[in-house]
Amino acid sequence: IAEVKGGADQGLGRVGQSLSIMGWVRTLRSQSSVTFIEINDGSCLSNLQCVMNPDAEGYHQVESGSVLTGASISVQGTIVASQGTKQKVELKVDKIIVVGKCDSSYPIQKKRVSREFLRTKAHLRPRTNTFGAVARVRNALAYATHKFFQESGFVWVASPIITASDCEGAGEQFCVTTLIPSSHETTDSSIDAFQNKGRVGRLVSDFMVVLYSLTSQDFFGKPALDSLWATQWRNLCHRLSDVYTFGPTFRAENSNTSRHLAEFWMIEPELAFADLNDDMACATAYLQYVVKYVLDNCKEDMEFFDTWIDKGIIHRLSEVVEKEFLQLGYTDAIELLLKANKKFEFPVHNRGGFRGRPVIIRDYPKEIKAFYMRENDDGKTVAAMDMLVPRIGELIGGSQREERLEVLEARLDELKLDKESYWWYLDLRYGSVPHAGFGLGFERLVQFATGIDNIRDVIPFPRSPGSADF
Ligand code: 4AD
Ligand code: MG
């Protein structure tokens, strides 16, 4: 359908061509001798209107009531100019085959239903306009992400998810444990692991088993999966060139907010021979690139979001692409907030702030940041940066890394971290170079690009406290 209706002429150039379409019925309405079926195949937001007379092959299935909203059908016919005002072309049907029936208990009927309700039907919700559009924009953002980094000479690497090393204090780790997939019972050893509230669980090789355990347990009561520790691993590949990862991340933080998930995707580039300014420039160029990609390539879906989800989003995103982002030192930002003398609640909904554009805050106090961030000359702050965006707050967190062996060792000592267990990280100081990187929460990016306000609605199967049922 995207191919037929997506062109500048909205399909008029194809009038007279024959076409076969497979998809799902959105609506069906019959007038005396003609039946209209709106069919959608997931390729785009638009439906294709199919017009059918009783002489069409397979028409008896329409008469017998087999063609209801949600049914899958295959139709063949000819593209004709439409008499209607809503579309330029429609399909004059010669033949219809009902592939899979649907009855009136189908939960995704034409009427509007709440997004909360649809979260309980996560397996069916991509069939709605909103979630179909989100899925396509999410896909475009993922594609544009690889495109941006590949075109910029980065090498994609995979970092491991299971680790016995302590992370950067970003939320609790899950324990890794085993469950017997075919039953819902745990093994003795996994019960031990569940009961062991220690931070590091036992390692297992079969990751699917681990994920399975999330589906049947209240995993916040009983930590079930080891948390991701990716940041430092990518340093191992660092001498390859500039690198990036793009994959799932796990955090057992029990934050029931519209911006946190227990399982989310992160994009993490790491740049060699680079400082914090290079890092911020890369983050800015990346964000502008992927936003522009979506504006250029997902026009119909973006217009849908602009109309139904977040008025004016297209205009605001265009400004993100075109205008520079504001940069502020952490200390200056705090001063501004104090001067404003207002109570700020997070996330800040005021789109007027910083004229609705992203702002980068840099040079955070070292006490609130991870050990590996590079100490600034003042001895108090580190070369860290966060990119904050309207409506969502933190989209990106990154830093220049400490490349000086003696400063790094002193910092580990200061934080009473065990140098022995960081032996490999310290090894990377052989032929050390200035380097920097950042992490971007992919679901928050999808929220930013679509205007969807809850993070649970931009990932197909959200995992958060109390929701891992599917
Ligand atoms: O700021 P964070 O914790 O930074 C890191 O993890 C660094 N290791 C990244 C790096 O330097 N390579 O997380 C990075 C981003 C956040 O800015 C946020 O967008 C997202 O990941 N994020 C989450 N998204 C959804 N749910 C959660 N629970 C998230 N926690 C972080
Ligand atoms: Mg952060």
In a domain, 96, yes or no: yes
Q: Based on the domain organization, do 261 and 408 belong to the same domain?
A: yes
In a domain, 111, yes or no: no
Q: Based on the domain organization, do 371 and 446 belong to the same domain?
A: yes
Q: Based on the domain organization, do 37 and 156 belong to the same domain?
A: no
Q: Is the model's pLDDT at 188 over the cut of 60?
A: no
pLDDT digits (tens, 9 = 90+) for 42-66: 999 999 999 999 999 999 999 888 8
Q: Based on the domain organization, do 195 and 57 belong to the same domain?
A: no
Instruction: Look up residue 259 and give its two tokens.
Output: 């911006």
Structural domains of the chain, count = 3
In a domain, 242, yes or no: yes
pLDDT at 468: 61
Residue with more model confidence, 178 or 7: 7
Q: Is the model's pLDDT at 397 over the cut of 60?
A: yes
In a domain, 435, yes or no: yes
Instruction: Look up residue 27 and give its two tokens.
Output: 């609506």
Mutate-to-test residue for ligand 1 from 141, 229, 266, 452, highest number of ligand atoms within 8 A of CB: 266
Looking at 60-64, 257-261, 345-349, 444-448, which range is the least confident one? Answer: 345-349
Q: Is the model's pLDDT at 370 over the cut of 50?
A: yes
**Across 460-466, average pLDDT:** 82
Mean pLDDT of the chain: 83
231 Cα nearest atom in ligand 1: 8
Q: Based on the domain organization, do 20 and 158 belong to the same domain?
A: no
Q: Based on the domain organization, do 193 and 146 belong to the same domain?
A: no
Q: Based on the domain organization, do 139 and 186 belong to the same domain?
A: no
pLDDT at 238: 60
170 Cα nearest atom in ligand 1: 3
This complex has an ipTM of: 0.99
Instruction: Please give all residues whose beta carbon lies within 6 A of any atom in ligand 1, as ranges.
Output: 170, 231, 251, 253, 260-261, 264, 266, 268, 394-399, 437-441, 443-444
| 53/43 Cα distance (integer angstroms) | 26
In a domain, 339, yes or no: yes
Q: Based on the domain organization, do 274 and 351 belong to the same domain?
A: yes
Q: Based on the domain organization, do 310 and 250 belong to the same domain?
A: yes
Q: Is the model's pLDDT at 415 over the cut of 80?
A: yes
The domain that contains 46 carries what CATH number?
2.40.50.140
| Nearest Cα residue to 451 out of 387, 394, 392 | 392
| 178/457 Cα distance (integer angstroms) | 29
Sequence-distant (≥ 6) Cβ neighbours of residue 437 within 8 angstroms: 231, 234, 268, 269, 270, 271, 279, 398, 399, 401
Q: Is the model's pLDDT at 324 over the cut of 80?
A: yes
Residue with more model confidence, 177 or 83: 83
Taking a C-beta distance cutoff of 8 angstroms, is the pair 422, 454 a contact?
A: no
Q: Based on the domain organization, do 167 and 246 belong to the same domain?
A: yes
In a domain, 115, yes or no: no
Residue with more model confidence, 43 or 423: 43
pTM, full prediction:
0.87
pLDDT digits (tens, 9 = 90+) for 135-159: 999 999 999 999 999 999 998 988 7
In a domain, 139, yes or no: yes
* Amino acid making up residue 411: R
397 Cα nearest atom in ligand 1: 1
Whose CA is closest to atom 7 on ligand 1? Answer: 439
| 267/265 Cα distance (integer angstroms) | 7
The domain that contains 288 carries what CATH number?
3.30.930.10
Domain that holds residue 189: 174-213
In a domain, 153, yes or no: yes
Q: Based on the domain organization, do 404 and 330 belong to the same domain?
A: yes
| 173/227 Cα distance (integer angstroms) | 4
Residue with more model confidence, 287 or 104: 287
Q: Based on the domain organization, do 31 and 86 belong to the same domain?
A: yes
